[in-house]
Amino acid sequence: MNLKDKFYRYIQNLQDTITSKLEAVDGKATFKQDLWQRPEGGGGRTRVIENGGVFEKGGVNISAVHGKLPESMQQYFGVTDADFYACGLSLVIHPKNPFVPTVHANWRYFELYDPQGNIVDQWFGGGQDLTPYYLFDEDAAHFHSICKRACDEHHPNFYAQYKKRCDAYFWNHHRNEARGVGGLFFDYCKANDEMNMKAWYDFVTEVGNSFLEAYIPIVSKRKDRAYDRSQRDWQEIRRGRYVEFNLVHDKGTLFGLRTNGRIESILMSLPPHVQWQYDHHPKSGSEEERLVKVLQKPKKWT
């Protein structure tokens, strides 16, 4: 089996595993499935959960698309007259309780072809990151410890390297703050002297397999904690920053829009209830302010 088919089979199975576990944790809602086709080639399987007992909205999507690389993306990749293949799993989960963090993850594979159909470039990318609204240091440390363990199985420098890249990537430049407390971000993982493509496949799937262990214990610990309207308001204000990042900076969103991707799947990452209050600042000495101070200067968690 070639690499692209092997990885697509992997993300199909991973989608089943993740959605089944999230449904069990939620206890009320189930994922609605939507199969779709892309006119230019390929398609996907979107699964969305809404108005659950724990999860207010979430999506766990897979896709495999192919065809001629749009001109805007040719310039981005520095190629001309190229075809492409891209497959991946992308998820975003927005819990109802403001003490449970939002989580995002993505694992993907990409190929570029010459006019004769030969592979001229191929790489993996992905990562997973945590966006809390109230900061529990032990939750951030747990999430990062699982990320580090997955990385350490494959290279002693991967965690430090990809944690740093995550902090840099998920940075809301116009706000001068991080989107959350980070995790891992890696891209253009190509064959080199240390890692062939099989080794990269093993690494990316190790990270994917670690996701539930990184996130579910945090959900289980915080989902029944009592909260009030002011804490819900803060969650919705911070969700506004999440939306800003996704629409202004996120490469995955921009790639989907530029390749005529399915708009409902691309924008499923947006939360259902959001606030933008003019010139809002948290109260001095509050837990809300403590979160913002950490987001302004990423810290070491493990």
Q: The tokens of 279 are what? A: 């010139």
Q: The tokens of 19 are what? A: 């959605």
Distance of alpha carbon 297 from alpha carbon 126, whole angstroms: 23
Give residue for tokens 């290279």. 155
| Cβ contact 97:84 at 8 Å | no
Describe the chain by its helix, strand, coil percentages, rounded to 5: 45, 25, 30
At 134 the three-state DSSP class reads coil
Active-site hit among 66, 94, 104, 144: 104
Distances (CA, A) of 165 to 104, 183, 221, 229: 15, 9, 28, 35
281 is catalytic: no
Q: Which residues are catalytic?
A: 104
